[in-house]
A and B are shown apart, each in its own frame.
Chain A
């Protein structure tokens, strides 16, 4: 077997590589192989995280805390300790160097590009448990320093109280077996974005696609900060069965003053109309069907974004409960 590398191009590895690059990156890799439009980027393997931990002066303390089940009442305290150990550990220079080099290459194409840092745990996007929203995502990063900092914070988020709880209660895997890849991708400067379920999670109808859409970045749908538009489509005829215009009171955009995002008021005109065109809805559903076919016809929970009218797929995972 060839040696596991620290860093891979997205698309170099596919579905069988969850243990190497985590669920999100493995699924994105499979999509790239089928020419689904995915923002360019790369992924740090779980070996990168292991190297970071192994060089940490707190390695033994971290291992000790993760060696046993954590009582519910101690979760917050243990989480704080673990996260501090991660954040206070130095980033090894032989790990930092290839990351910054690859980042600079992305930047050479276009100096104004921003990147996103997304978690890709080896327990993420499994068929029964999504790990949805358990680890953190960092958007709109513009410097190598902030990138390295965000990667560390992303690793630390694997040990948030909610993630520890979820791993212990839902996935039931010993903590020491859980590791995390990190996806670094060009940011899509989305005018519209959202989530698409290729089966209707509300009524369990597998012949319907359910789309949630909102203005700006889609993180505010996942975080529940907005009530998005909702569109139900017949999967066979592509006919729109139902639309509900959400209030979309707020929208997430790049923070003009620093890295990261801010919430602003959505212009009133955009609040009152559906933020997708019929053509875009059709194209989205087409991608949804292709992606579902790719993953053995298992209904998919897909995050997408539209920049300059072009659809990009940000994530695809199995719907865990139908």
Chain B
């Protein structure tokens, strides 16, 4: 029996049940506003916010984003292979924002008290998409360490090279 979907389910459950989401409530309104801004401004501000996160939030976000990056790369390759084989457009196999949609409400919880009501899921997806696709270079940055998720030494290296909160 394939158990890994269940593992993914547990991971999602864990993220969902965090009392404060990975991108904390404090930044919720700011992020939602940023999603409306131009991409360059948004990117800059999101990076600043990510650097200002508490260590545990930053590290976890980083690990998860690295993983999602891997998944989306893998998916793209698979789609290209399939499209070459079956000669169908990529889009059929690459529902572009599926991963972002899945993880957006997990990384940025819908805040309980906010003036942003209703359909801010689109804004969340914009932010997560941005972090995933544009912030990769600094998430992968070697100087912050931690490329292997289950390496405690790398984890401690991360805590050393991390900017002060």
A associates with B: no
Q: Which residues of B contact A (CB under 8 A)?
A: none
